Structure 1
Amino acid sequence: MREMLENTKTIAVVGLTDRDGRASYGVSRFMQQQGYRIVPVNPRITESLGEKAYPTLEAAVAAHPRGSESEIQMVNVFRAPEFVPEIVEEAIRLKLPYLWLQEGVVHEEAAARAEAAGMRVVMDHCLLKAYMAEGWGRRV
């Protein structure tokens, strides 16, 4: 987990909402405050946390291409487990290095598929809690 967090600058958050009080919003806001760039992926919103939202992971990656300062390294998933296989296939196709499935998001088969494709995977863990457990301070 530490390696993933140290090697990530930009996180695409699939399922991020624009509503305060939701887990995806709170976790993403915290990570943004720690210096990570957050890229919302949700077809139902136009922006969240001051960042433009994208309808798909593919659209988000196209807007933040490999080699750019805002290149996406991690996909953080706040969707129900039944949506994970589709997200994983898209992340594999886009050659993203890290997949983080939030607490309660468990899909063993999809996680194994991602790992077999070379992605590093964390499943059923809260990104905020993992960050805090490391005792890290603000990155910026």
Structure 2
Amino acid sequence: MHFKNPTDEEIKEILTSKKRIAVVGLSDNPMKTSYMVSAVMQDAGFEIIPVNPSADEVLGVKAVKTLQDIDGHVDIVNVFRRSEYLPEVAKDAVAIGADVFWAQLGLANDEAYDYLKAHDTVSIMDKCIKVEYARLVR
């Protein structure tokens, strides 16, 4: 893996200035990590947009099937899909003009990283947004 994450200072700036997060792979099952992480971020004041083709609603918010179904600007695309799906999600994130692509802890893909870098989109990989928020902001 050759991806390079932003510095702690840059990640802190992202987490204090970006408030609208589209969560790809957000489960409607409260026992799943994606649900727990997103609930904490929602409680911290972030707007969570569930991207889940099989759910109608997650965390009290109407779910959308794809990133392209979201109205308005997306600050962060937070991804809870396996690493092999990251290039596809990265292309969708660039297509909608998202500021930041964030692949959760354990997820990374060099092809996605290279694509995002070529399209001037900030990418963070193999880090949990909830953990980084608690560590750098709270």
The alignment status of 1:33 with 2:35, answered yes or no, reads no
- Tell me which moved more, 109-118 or 98-107: 109-118
TM-score by length of 2: 0.89
**Structure 2 CA distance for aligned equivalents of residues 99 and 76 of structure 1:** 6
What percent identity do the matched residue pairs reach? 38
Q: In 1, are the aligned partners of 2:104 and 2:126 still within 8 Å (CA)?
A: yes
Aligned position for 1:42: 52
TM-score by length of 1: 0.88
**Structure 2 CA distance for aligned equivalents of residues 109 and 128 of structure 1:** 25
1:135–1:7 CA distance, 2 compared to 1 (3 A): closer
Aligned position for 1:125: 127
1:7 deviation in Å? 1.9
Q: In 1, are the aligned partners of 2:12 and 2:137 still within 8 Å (CA)?
A: no
Instruction: Name which of 112, 115, 134 aligns with 1:113.
Output: 115
Instruction: Name which of 74, 77, 80 aligns with 2:76.
Output: 74
Aligned position for 2:31: 21
**Structure 2 CA distance for aligned equivalents of residues 118 and 131 of structure 1:** 23
- AA aligned to 1:91 is A
Q: How many residues align?
A: 128
1:73 deviation in Å? 0.5
RMSD over aligned Cα atoms: 1.0
1:135 deviation in Å? 4.5
Q: Tell me the secondary structure at the aligned position of residue 132 of structure 1.
A: helix
1:21–1:120 CA distance, 2 compared to 1 (3 A): same
Q: Which runs of 5+ in 1 are unaligned?
A: 66-70
